[in-house]
Amino acid sequence: MIMTSEAPAERQAAAPPPASAVSDPVELSRTLGARLGVEPAGLDEKAFSDAVLAQLRTDRLLWAPAPAALGGLGASMLETARIAANVGRLSGSAGLTYAMHMSQVLTLLRHGTTPFLQDVTARLAGEQRLVASGTSEKGIGGDVLTSICTIEEEASGDLLVTKQSPNISYMDHAGAVLVTAMRVLPDGRKSQVLIAAETARMELRPGPDVGFIGMRGILNRPYGFDARFEEGAIFPEGYPIIARETMTPSVHILWAALWSGIAKRALDTTKRYLGKELKDGEEAALARIELSRLVDKHHTMLALIRDSIADWSAAEAERASGAAGGLGLERTARVKRLKIVCSELLQEICHGALGLIGLRAYAERGPYSLSEPLRDAMSARVMISNFRLTDANAKIERFLDVGL
Protein backbone atom coordinates (compact mmCIF):
# COMPACT_ATOMS: atom_id res chain seq x y z
CA MET A 1 0.00 0.00 0.00
CA ILE A 2 1.24 3.47 -0.89
CA MET A 3 0.36 6.63 0.96
CA THR A 4 0.39 9.29 -1.72
CA SER A 5 1.86 12.72 -1.07
CA GLU A 6 0.53 14.70 -4.01
CA ALA A 7 0.36 17.94 -2.08
CA PRO A 8 1.89 17.61 1.39
CA ALA A 9 1.11 21.19 2.34
CA GLU A 10 -2.57 20.69 1.57
CA ARG A 11 -2.79 17.38 3.43
CA GLN A 12 -1.53 18.83 6.71
CA ALA A 13 -3.96 20.68 8.95
CA ALA A 14 -3.39 24.37 8.35
CA ALA A 15 -4.24 27.41 10.41
CA PRO A 16 -7.51 28.95 9.22
CA PRO A 17 -7.08 32.06 7.09
CA PRO A 18 -8.18 35.39 8.57
CA ALA A 19 -11.74 36.47 7.95
CA SER A 20 -12.22 39.08 5.25
CA ALA A 21 -13.38 42.56 6.16
CA VAL A 22 -16.06 42.27 3.46
CA SER A 23 -19.11 40.36 4.68
CA ASP A 24 -21.00 40.10 1.35
CA PRO A 25 -19.89 36.77 -0.13
CA VAL A 26 -21.20 37.54 -3.62
CA GLU A 27 -19.34 40.85 -3.76
CA LEU A 28 -16.19 39.08 -2.59
CA SER A 29 -16.50 36.61 -5.46
CA ARG A 30 -17.25 39.36 -7.99
CA THR A 31 -13.98 41.13 -7.17
CA LEU A 32 -11.97 37.91 -6.83
CA GLY A 33 -9.86 38.47 -9.94
CA ALA A 34 -8.62 41.84 -8.74
CA ARG A 35 -7.10 40.25 -5.62
CA LEU A 36 -5.31 37.35 -7.31
CA GLY A 37 -2.10 39.15 -8.20
CA VAL A 38 -1.63 36.86 -11.23
CA GLU A 39 -3.02 36.82 -14.77
CA PRO A 40 -4.30 33.65 -16.45
CA ALA A 41 -2.06 34.30 -19.46
CA GLY A 42 1.02 33.88 -17.28
CA LEU A 43 0.01 30.48 -15.85
CA ASP A 44 -1.21 27.13 -17.11
CA GLU A 45 -4.83 26.26 -16.33
CA LYS A 46 -3.96 24.15 -13.27
CA ALA A 47 -1.77 26.84 -11.71
CA PHE A 48 -4.38 29.54 -12.33
CA SER A 49 -7.21 27.38 -10.96
CA ASP A 50 -5.11 26.68 -7.86
CA ALA A 51 -4.49 30.42 -7.43
CA VAL A 52 -8.24 31.09 -7.60
CA LEU A 53 -8.93 28.37 -5.02
CA ALA A 54 -6.23 29.80 -2.74
CA GLN A 55 -7.86 33.24 -2.91
CA LEU A 56 -11.28 31.72 -2.20
CA ARG A 57 -9.75 30.14 0.88
CA THR A 58 -8.23 33.44 1.99
CA ASP A 59 -11.61 35.12 1.50
CA ARG A 60 -13.28 32.27 3.47
CA LEU A 61 -15.62 31.53 0.59
CA LEU A 62 -14.89 27.79 0.47
CA TRP A 63 -17.43 27.27 3.26
CA ALA A 64 -19.66 30.27 2.53
CA PRO A 65 -22.97 28.45 3.37
CA ALA A 66 -21.71 27.45 6.83
CA PRO A 67 -23.06 29.45 9.78
CA ALA A 68 -20.93 32.12 11.42
CA ALA A 69 -20.31 29.80 14.38
CA LEU A 70 -18.30 27.57 12.01
CA GLY A 71 -16.50 30.48 10.39
CA GLY A 72 -18.85 30.63 7.41
CA LEU A 73 -20.86 33.49 5.96
CA GLY A 74 -24.33 31.92 6.11
CA ALA A 75 -24.72 32.16 2.33
CA SER A 76 -28.05 31.09 0.85
CA MET A 77 -28.27 28.78 -2.16
CA LEU A 78 -28.85 31.81 -4.40
CA GLU A 79 -25.73 33.49 -3.04
CA THR A 80 -23.72 30.27 -3.35
CA ALA A 81 -24.85 29.88 -6.97
CA ARG A 82 -23.85 33.46 -7.73
CA ILE A 83 -20.42 32.80 -6.23
CA ALA A 84 -20.06 29.69 -8.42
CA ALA A 85 -21.00 31.74 -11.49
CA ASN A 86 -18.45 34.44 -10.67
CA VAL A 87 -15.73 31.84 -10.09
CA GLY A 88 -16.67 30.00 -13.30
CA ARG A 89 -16.45 33.23 -15.27
CA LEU A 90 -12.85 33.57 -14.09
CA SER A 91 -11.82 29.89 -14.35
CA GLY A 92 -14.03 27.01 -15.44
CA SER A 93 -11.87 24.53 -13.53
CA ALA A 94 -12.00 26.50 -10.29
CA GLY A 95 -15.74 26.98 -10.77
CA LEU A 96 -16.33 23.26 -11.25
CA THR A 97 -14.20 22.44 -8.21
CA TYR A 98 -16.18 24.98 -6.19
CA ALA A 99 -19.53 23.60 -7.35
CA MET A 100 -18.65 19.96 -6.60
CA HIS A 101 -17.13 20.88 -3.25
CA MET A 102 -20.23 22.90 -2.30
CA SER A 103 -22.50 19.90 -2.85
CA GLN A 104 -20.34 18.02 -0.33
CA VAL A 105 -20.37 20.99 2.08
CA LEU A 106 -24.17 21.19 1.96
CA THR A 107 -24.35 17.44 2.56
CA LEU A 108 -22.23 17.76 5.71
CA LEU A 109 -24.15 20.81 6.94
CA ARG A 110 -27.60 19.26 6.40
CA HIS A 111 -27.02 15.58 7.18
CA GLY A 112 -23.87 15.38 9.32
CA THR A 113 -25.67 15.15 12.65
CA THR A 114 -23.48 12.76 14.66
CA PRO A 115 -21.03 14.37 17.11
CA PHE A 116 -18.13 13.02 15.04
CA LEU A 117 -19.50 14.46 11.79
CA GLN A 118 -20.20 17.79 13.48
CA ASP A 119 -16.61 17.89 14.72
CA VAL A 120 -15.23 17.03 11.27
CA THR A 121 -17.45 19.69 9.69
CA ALA A 122 -16.28 22.32 12.18
CA ARG A 123 -12.61 21.50 11.55
CA LEU A 124 -12.94 21.46 7.76
CA ALA A 125 -14.88 24.73 7.81
CA GLY A 126 -12.45 26.38 10.20
CA GLU A 127 -9.48 25.40 8.03
CA GLN A 128 -11.40 26.14 4.79
CA ARG A 129 -10.55 22.69 3.38
CA LEU A 130 -12.07 21.20 0.26
CA VAL A 131 -14.23 18.06 0.38
CA ALA A 132 -14.14 15.65 -2.57
CA SER A 133 -16.70 13.11 -3.77
CA GLY A 134 -15.94 9.38 -3.64
CA THR A 135 -19.28 8.06 -4.91
CA SER A 136 -18.04 6.65 -8.23
CA GLU A 137 -16.87 3.04 -8.35
CA LYS A 138 -15.57 0.64 -10.96
CA GLY A 139 -18.11 -1.98 -11.92
CA ILE A 140 -21.35 -0.09 -11.17
CA GLY A 141 -21.90 1.32 -14.66
CA GLY A 142 -22.14 4.92 -13.50
CA ASP A 143 -25.05 4.27 -11.12
CA VAL A 144 -23.90 5.96 -7.90
CA LEU A 145 -26.92 4.56 -6.04
CA THR A 146 -25.18 1.19 -6.26
CA SER A 147 -22.03 0.18 -4.35
CA ILE A 148 -19.87 -2.92 -4.56
CA CYS A 149 -17.45 -2.15 -1.72
CA THR A 150 -18.59 -3.10 1.78
CA ILE A 151 -17.63 -1.79 5.22
CA GLU A 152 -15.43 -4.19 7.17
CA GLU A 153 -14.43 -4.15 10.84
CA GLU A 154 -10.75 -4.53 11.71
CA ALA A 155 -9.34 -6.19 14.82
CA SER A 156 -8.45 -2.74 16.17
CA GLY A 157 -12.12 -1.74 16.13
CA ASP A 158 -11.64 0.65 13.21
CA LEU A 159 -13.99 0.39 10.25
CA LEU A 160 -12.48 -0.01 6.79
CA VAL A 161 -13.63 0.49 3.22
CA THR A 162 -11.49 -0.57 0.26
CA LYS A 163 -12.72 0.97 -2.97
CA GLN A 164 -11.73 1.35 -6.62
CA SER A 165 -12.92 4.66 -8.06
CA PRO A 166 -12.58 5.47 -11.79
CA ASN A 167 -12.15 9.14 -10.98
CA ILE A 168 -11.91 11.47 -8.01
CA SER A 169 -11.40 15.18 -8.65
CA TYR A 170 -9.10 17.59 -6.78
CA MET A 171 -7.81 15.02 -4.30
CA ASP A 172 -4.63 17.12 -4.13
CA HIS A 173 -6.64 19.76 -2.24
CA ALA A 174 -9.10 17.61 -0.27
CA GLY A 175 -9.20 17.36 3.50
CA ALA A 176 -11.96 14.75 3.35
CA VAL A 177 -13.83 12.58 0.86
CA LEU A 178 -17.49 11.59 1.11
CA VAL A 179 -17.47 7.89 0.22
CA THR A 180 -20.37 5.54 -0.52
CA ALA A 181 -20.29 1.88 0.51
CA MET A 182 -22.61 -0.95 1.45
CA ARG A 183 -23.14 -1.89 5.07
CA VAL A 184 -24.39 -5.27 6.24
CA LEU A 185 -27.08 -4.74 8.88
CA PRO A 186 -27.53 -7.06 11.89
CA ASP A 187 -30.41 -8.83 10.14
CA GLY A 188 -28.23 -9.53 7.09
CA ARG A 189 -29.77 -6.91 4.82
CA LYS A 190 -27.49 -4.43 3.04
CA SER A 191 -27.85 -0.66 3.08
CA GLN A 192 -25.89 1.92 1.07
CA VAL A 193 -24.37 4.52 3.38
CA LEU A 194 -22.24 7.65 3.12
CA ILE A 195 -18.98 8.04 5.05
CA ALA A 196 -16.92 11.15 5.79
CA ALA A 197 -13.40 9.80 5.25
CA GLU A 198 -10.61 12.15 6.28
CA THR A 199 -7.72 12.05 3.81
CA ALA A 200 -5.22 11.85 6.69
CA ARG A 201 -6.57 8.33 7.36
CA MET A 202 -6.75 7.20 3.73
CA GLU A 203 -4.16 5.11 1.93
CA LEU A 204 -4.32 6.14 -1.71
CA ARG A 205 -3.20 4.26 -4.80
CA PRO A 206 -3.50 6.87 -7.54
CA GLY A 207 -3.59 6.02 -11.22
CA PRO A 208 -2.33 8.33 -13.97
CA ASP A 209 -3.85 11.76 -14.56
CA VAL A 210 -6.91 11.17 -16.75
CA GLY A 211 -6.08 14.07 -19.09
CA PHE A 212 -9.57 15.26 -20.02
CA ILE A 213 -10.15 17.53 -23.04
CA GLY A 214 -11.39 20.35 -20.83
CA MET A 215 -11.33 21.37 -17.18
CA ARG A 216 -7.55 20.97 -17.29
CA GLY A 217 -7.14 22.93 -14.08
CA ILE A 218 -8.46 20.01 -12.01
CA LEU A 219 -6.42 16.96 -11.04
CA ASN A 220 -8.57 14.01 -12.16
CA ARG A 221 -7.30 10.52 -11.43
CA PRO A 222 -8.57 7.02 -10.75
CA TYR A 223 -7.87 5.93 -7.20
CA GLY A 224 -7.81 2.74 -5.29
CA PHE A 225 -7.95 3.51 -1.59
CA ASP A 226 -8.35 2.16 1.91
CA ALA A 227 -10.33 4.49 4.17
CA ARG A 228 -10.33 3.92 7.94
CA PHE A 229 -12.89 5.62 10.12
CA GLU A 230 -15.00 5.28 13.23
CA GLU A 231 -18.71 4.56 13.58
CA GLY A 232 -19.59 8.24 13.91
CA ALA A 233 -18.20 8.98 10.43
CA ILE A 234 -21.19 7.18 8.89
CA PHE A 235 -24.11 9.49 8.11
CA PRO A 236 -27.27 8.44 9.98
CA GLU A 237 -29.49 8.68 6.88
CA GLY A 238 -29.02 6.28 3.99
CA TYR A 239 -27.17 7.57 0.96
CA PRO A 240 -30.18 7.37 -1.40
CA ILE A 241 -32.03 9.84 0.86
CA ILE A 242 -29.01 12.17 1.07
CA ALA A 243 -28.51 12.03 -2.70
CA ARG A 244 -32.17 12.72 -3.43
CA GLU A 245 -32.60 15.55 -0.93
CA THR A 246 -29.25 17.33 -1.08
CA MET A 247 -26.28 16.07 -3.03
CA THR A 248 -27.84 15.63 -6.47
CA PRO A 249 -30.10 18.71 -6.64
CA SER A 250 -27.42 20.98 -5.19
CA VAL A 251 -24.76 19.86 -7.65
CA HIS A 252 -27.13 20.30 -10.61
CA ILE A 253 -27.92 23.85 -9.49
CA LEU A 254 -24.29 24.74 -8.87
CA TRP A 255 -23.06 23.11 -12.08
CA ALA A 256 -25.61 25.16 -14.01
CA ALA A 257 -24.48 28.28 -12.15
CA LEU A 258 -20.81 27.78 -13.01
CA TRP A 259 -21.79 27.05 -16.63
CA SER A 260 -23.61 30.37 -16.69
CA GLY A 261 -20.32 31.96 -15.66
CA ILE A 262 -18.43 30.23 -18.48
CA ALA A 263 -21.13 31.37 -20.92
CA LYS A 264 -20.84 34.93 -19.58
CA ARG A 265 -17.08 34.84 -20.23
CA ALA A 266 -17.71 33.79 -23.85
CA LEU A 267 -20.29 36.56 -24.26
CA ASP A 268 -17.98 39.16 -22.69
CA THR A 269 -15.21 38.18 -25.12
CA THR A 270 -17.62 38.42 -28.06
CA LYS A 271 -18.88 41.84 -27.00
CA ARG A 272 -15.31 43.08 -26.65
CA TYR A 273 -14.44 41.77 -30.10
CA LEU A 274 -17.48 43.29 -31.79
CA GLY A 275 -16.90 46.62 -30.07
CA LYS A 276 -13.24 46.90 -31.05
CA GLU A 277 -12.84 44.99 -34.29
CA LEU A 278 -16.06 45.42 -36.30
CA LYS A 279 -16.90 48.76 -37.89
CA ASP A 280 -20.47 49.91 -38.33
CA GLY A 281 -22.13 48.36 -41.33
CA GLU A 282 -24.22 45.40 -42.39
CA GLU A 283 -21.78 42.81 -41.02
CA ALA A 284 -21.65 44.51 -37.62
CA ALA A 285 -25.45 44.82 -37.51
CA LEU A 286 -25.92 41.13 -38.30
CA ALA A 287 -23.30 40.20 -35.69
CA ARG A 288 -25.11 42.24 -33.04
CA ILE A 289 -28.38 40.47 -33.86
CA GLU A 290 -26.72 37.06 -33.52
CA LEU A 291 -25.07 38.15 -30.26
CA SER A 292 -28.50 39.15 -28.94
CA ARG A 293 -29.74 35.63 -29.68
CA LEU A 294 -26.85 34.21 -27.67
CA VAL A 295 -27.68 36.58 -24.80
CA ASP A 296 -31.28 35.29 -24.94
CA LYS A 297 -29.95 31.76 -24.39
CA HIS A 298 -27.92 32.97 -21.42
CA HIS A 299 -31.05 34.57 -19.94
CA THR A 300 -32.83 31.23 -20.37
CA MET A 301 -30.05 29.56 -18.37
CA LEU A 302 -30.41 32.13 -15.59
CA ALA A 303 -34.20 31.75 -15.47
CA LEU A 304 -33.94 27.97 -15.16
CA ILE A 305 -31.35 28.31 -12.40
CA ARG A 306 -33.56 30.72 -10.45
CA ASP A 307 -36.54 28.36 -10.78
CA SER A 308 -34.54 25.45 -9.39
CA ILE A 309 -33.20 27.58 -6.54
CA ALA A 310 -36.80 28.52 -5.70
CA ASP A 311 -37.65 24.80 -5.62
CA TRP A 312 -34.63 24.16 -3.37
CA SER A 313 -35.65 26.96 -1.01
CA ALA A 314 -39.25 25.70 -0.83
CA ALA A 315 -38.06 22.17 -0.02
CA GLU A 316 -35.66 23.58 2.58
CA ALA A 317 -38.50 25.49 4.26
CA GLU A 318 -40.62 22.32 4.30
CA ARG A 319 -37.71 20.40 5.82
CA ALA A 320 -37.24 23.05 8.51
CA SER A 321 -40.95 22.94 9.39
CA GLY A 322 -40.86 19.17 9.82
CA ALA A 323 -42.89 18.46 6.70
CA ALA A 324 -42.04 15.53 4.44
CA GLY A 325 -38.57 16.04 3.02
CA GLY A 326 -37.41 15.79 -0.57
CA LEU A 327 -38.11 17.63 -3.78
CA GLY A 328 -40.98 15.46 -4.98
CA LEU A 329 -41.44 14.21 -8.54
CA GLU A 330 -42.13 17.57 -10.18
CA ARG A 331 -39.18 19.37 -8.59
CA THR A 332 -36.90 16.40 -9.20
CA ALA A 333 -37.77 16.42 -12.90
CA ARG A 334 -37.15 20.17 -13.06
CA VAL A 335 -33.70 20.02 -11.48
CA LYS A 336 -32.67 17.21 -13.85
CA ARG A 337 -34.00 19.25 -16.76
CA LEU A 338 -31.96 22.20 -15.48
CA LYS A 339 -28.77 20.17 -15.87
CA ILE A 340 -29.71 18.83 -19.30
CA VAL A 341 -30.84 22.12 -20.84
CA CYS A 342 -28.13 24.33 -19.33
CA SER A 343 -25.36 21.96 -20.44
CA GLU A 344 -26.71 22.16 -24.00
CA LEU A 345 -27.21 25.94 -23.91
CA LEU A 346 -23.64 26.43 -22.70
CA GLN A 347 -22.28 24.65 -25.77
CA GLU A 348 -24.61 26.59 -28.07
CA ILE A 349 -23.46 29.90 -26.60
CA CYS A 350 -19.75 29.04 -26.80
CA HIS A 351 -20.06 27.71 -30.36
CA GLY A 352 -22.07 30.77 -31.37
CA ALA A 353 -19.41 33.05 -29.92
CA LEU A 354 -16.76 31.13 -31.86
CA GLY A 355 -18.71 31.70 -35.07
CA LEU A 356 -18.96 35.45 -34.46
CA ILE A 357 -15.29 35.98 -33.62
CA GLY A 358 -13.82 33.42 -36.01
CA LEU A 359 -10.23 32.20 -36.09
CA ARG A 360 -9.08 34.55 -33.33
CA ALA A 361 -11.46 32.73 -30.97
CA TYR A 362 -10.22 29.37 -32.27
CA ALA A 363 -6.63 30.26 -31.33
CA GLU A 364 -5.16 28.83 -28.11
CA ARG A 365 -4.00 32.28 -26.99
CA GLY A 366 -4.82 35.89 -27.62
CA PRO A 367 -7.29 38.52 -26.39
CA TYR A 368 -10.23 36.84 -28.15
CA SER A 369 -9.33 33.19 -27.57
CA LEU A 370 -12.22 30.96 -26.52
CA SER A 371 -10.10 27.81 -26.31
CA GLU A 372 -10.61 27.24 -22.59
CA PRO A 373 -14.38 27.97 -22.45
CA LEU A 374 -15.00 25.79 -25.53
CA ARG A 375 -13.10 22.84 -24.06
CA ASP A 376 -14.64 23.29 -20.62
CA ALA A 377 -18.14 23.46 -22.10
CA MET A 378 -17.74 19.98 -23.56
CA SER A 379 -17.59 18.48 -20.07
CA ALA A 380 -21.09 19.66 -19.18
CA ARG A 381 -22.98 16.93 -21.06
CA VAL A 382 -21.03 14.03 -19.58
CA MET A 383 -20.92 14.91 -15.86
CA ILE A 384 -23.83 12.59 -15.14
CA SER A 385 -24.80 11.70 -18.68
CA ASN A 386 -27.63 13.69 -20.23
CA PHE A 387 -28.92 10.40 -21.68
CA ARG A 388 -29.17 8.92 -18.17
CA LEU A 389 -31.01 11.99 -16.84
CA THR A 390 -33.36 12.19 -19.84
CA ASP A 391 -34.21 8.51 -19.40
CA ALA A 392 -34.96 9.11 -15.71
CA ASN A 393 -37.21 12.07 -16.51
CA ALA A 394 -39.01 10.15 -19.26
CA LYS A 395 -40.03 7.54 -16.70
CA ILE A 396 -41.70 10.06 -14.37
CA GLU A 397 -42.94 12.82 -16.68
CA ARG A 398 -45.90 10.71 -17.81
CA PHE A 399 -47.22 11.09 -14.25
CA LEU A 400 -46.87 14.90 -14.27
CA ASP A 401 -49.18 17.57 -15.64
CA VAL A 402 -47.30 20.86 -15.35
CA GLY A 403 -48.67 24.26 -16.35
CA LEU A 404 -48.02 27.91 -15.61
Enter the pTM of the model: 0.92
Sign of CA dihedral 72, 77, 79, 85: positive
Is the separation of the CB atoms in 132 and 177 below 8 Å?
yes
Which pLDDT belongs to residue 279? 79
Which pLDDT belongs to residue 395? 85
Which pLDDT belongs to residue 392? 87
Considering the domain delimited by 239-397, tell me its CATH architecture: Up-down Bundle (1.20)
Which pLDDT belongs to residue 18? 54
Which pLDDT belongs to residue 12? 41
Domains of the chain: which residue ranges? 23-130, 133-233, 239-397
The backbone torsions φ and ψ at residue 362, rounded to the nearest 5 degrees and listed phi first, read -75, -15
CATH 3.40.1010.20 fits domain 133-233: no
**Residue from 178, 181, 173 nearest 197 by CA:** 178
* Inter-CA distances, 294 with 270, 290, 305, Å: 10, 7, 17
Domain 23-130: state its class: mainly alpha
Which pLDDT belongs to residue 10? 42
Is the separation of the CB atoms in 2 and 204 below 8 Å?
yes
Low-confidence stretches of the chain (pLDDT < 70) are 1-22, 324-326
Cα 358 to Cα 193: distance, rounded to the nearest angstrom? 50
Q: What is the pLDDT of residues 235-245, one digit of tens each?
A: 999 999 999 99
Cα 368 to Cα 379: distance, rounded to the nearest angstrom? 21
